[in-house]
Amino acid sequence: ELPDSGRRSLRDGALILSRLEPNDSMVAQCEASNSHGRLLANAFVYVMELPVQILTPELELYTVVENQTAFLHCRAFGAPAPTVEWLSPALEPALQDDRAFAFTNGSLRLGPAARADSGLYTCRARNGHSNASVSARLDVRGEG
């Protein structure tokens, strides 16, 4: 039996753990029994906290022809998984532009690109414990 602490509870035979922190790592033991016998199983619960890291190099250069689509990449990881936000050269959220779309993998799609889109974009990744950022340069060239 497990006393309901608000952060740990049993529901339909499942152990529910909420709002975990690194010092909540544990070994949980499950016991099942019926008329044929009894079974014990251990579950090792490791609560990990990893600072945000961005694998994409700083000042990566992306070149695209005017009226084509640009893709800027930002590969970030951490635990918990970080959220990624892109800032435009004006340091405003890039997604305010209807031509921009952010993928769940951290990449930014901008298109059709205009020459005025050239400049330094910032990828900012954060989780509840840390944050990191890198800049990328977008160069939009004329069609001719």
The pLDDT tens digits of the residues spanning 40-67 come to 999 998 887 889 999 999 999 999 999 9
Please state the domain count of the chain.
Answer: 2
Cα–Cα dist 41/44, whole Å: 10
Cα–Cα dist 19/115, whole Å: 46
What pLDDT does residue 26 have? 86
- Looking at the fold, whether 54 and 93 belong to one and the same domain comes out as yes
- pLDDT score of 13 more than 70: yes
Kindly state the average pLDDT of the residues 109-116: 98
Residue 1 domain-assigned? no
- pLDDT score of 134 more than 90: yes
- Looking at the fold, whether 57 and 127 belong to one and the same domain comes out as yes
What pLDDT does residue 4 have? 58
Kindly state the average pLDDT of the residues 61-90: 96
The mean pLDDT of the chain is 92
Write out pLDDT tens, residues 14-46: 888 888 877 788 898 888 899 999 999 999 988
Cα–Cα dist 136/67, whole Å: 19
Residue 52, Cα to own-chain centre: how many angstroms?
A: 9
Higher pLDDT, 54 or 143: 54
- pTM for the model stands at 0.71
Kindly state the average pLDDT of the residues 116-132: 96
What pLDDT does residue 6 have? 75
- Looking at the fold, whether 81 and 110 belong to one and the same domain comes out as yes
What pLDDT does residue 85 have? 98
- Looking at the fold, whether 74 and 13 belong to one and the same domain comes out as no
Residue 2 domain-assigned? no
Tell how strand 60-65 and strand 131-141 pair up. parallel
Cα–Cα dist 133/85, whole Å: 9
Range of the domain at 23: 8-45
